[in-house]
Amino acid sequence: MARWEPGARERLVVAAVELFTEQGYDATTVTQIAEQAGVTRSTFFRYFPDKRDLLVAGQETLSQLLADGIAEAPQGASPLEAVAAGLERASSAMGPMNRELGPRLKAAVAASAELQERDALKSVGLAAAMTTALVARGVPGPTAHLAGELGVLAFKMGYAGWSEADCETAGELAPYTLTALDELRAASASLG
């Protein structure tokens, strides 16, 4: 097995999603994931403390991209305009591998209560990153929190639409997340 071959982290994520989908999360072992990825168990543990953490691979990077986009939004941007800037920034980091894994990851999460819990914690972390970035821009706490939550929902809706779209016409993720944010903005306006 290759110890230091490039791309080990990505291969581990892909192997885990494939195995979780094929045989279920509970039946999948770290050894199986490492073998399928072509690395050793010790390499697995260099990247992830356990198999649950494969689901949140890249969460810190995604949170940082969302926060950076919000921080760099134009000075007079509304909270949702700043969130849109964060969504654009984060979406730009998503490529074909992310799109391809979407439906399989969704199926794996749906089949495991433990992964559903981990996915919920990931959402909380993303919302917190956006909320903190908005508060740093001077947005009041409750407004920042609501905008951050809408940002997470828009990201999830956009990602789901993007990953389920036809490969040849899907394009980039950003239009999907921004459309979802616009839909949520319209829906929230109708709440009265």
Which residue ranges of the chain lie beneath pLDDT 50? 1-2
Distances in Å between the Cα of 31 and the Cα atoms of 39, 72, 108, 115 are: 9, 42, 18, 19
Q: What domains does the chain contain, in order, with CATH numbers?
A: 8-53 (1.10.10.60), 56-189 (1.10.357.10)
Which residue, among 75, 93, 71, has the nearest Cα to 83 in the 3D structure? 71
At 30-53, the pLDDT tens digits run 999 999 999 999 999 999 998 888
State how far the Cα of 38 lies from the Cα of 71, in Å rounded to an integer: 39
For residue 21, give Cα distances in angstroms to 7, 27, 51, 110, 112: 21, 10, 14, 10, 10
DSSP assignments along the chain, one per residue: --SS-TTHHHHHHHHHHHHHHHH-TTT--HHHHHHHHT--HHHHHHH-SSGGGGTTTTHHHHHHHHHHHHHTS-TT--HHHHHHHHHHHHHTT--HHHHHHHHHHHHHHHT-HHHHHHHHHHHHHHHHHHHHHHHHTT--HHHHHHHHHHHHHHHHHHHHHHHHS-TTT---SHHHHHHHHHHHHHHHHTT-
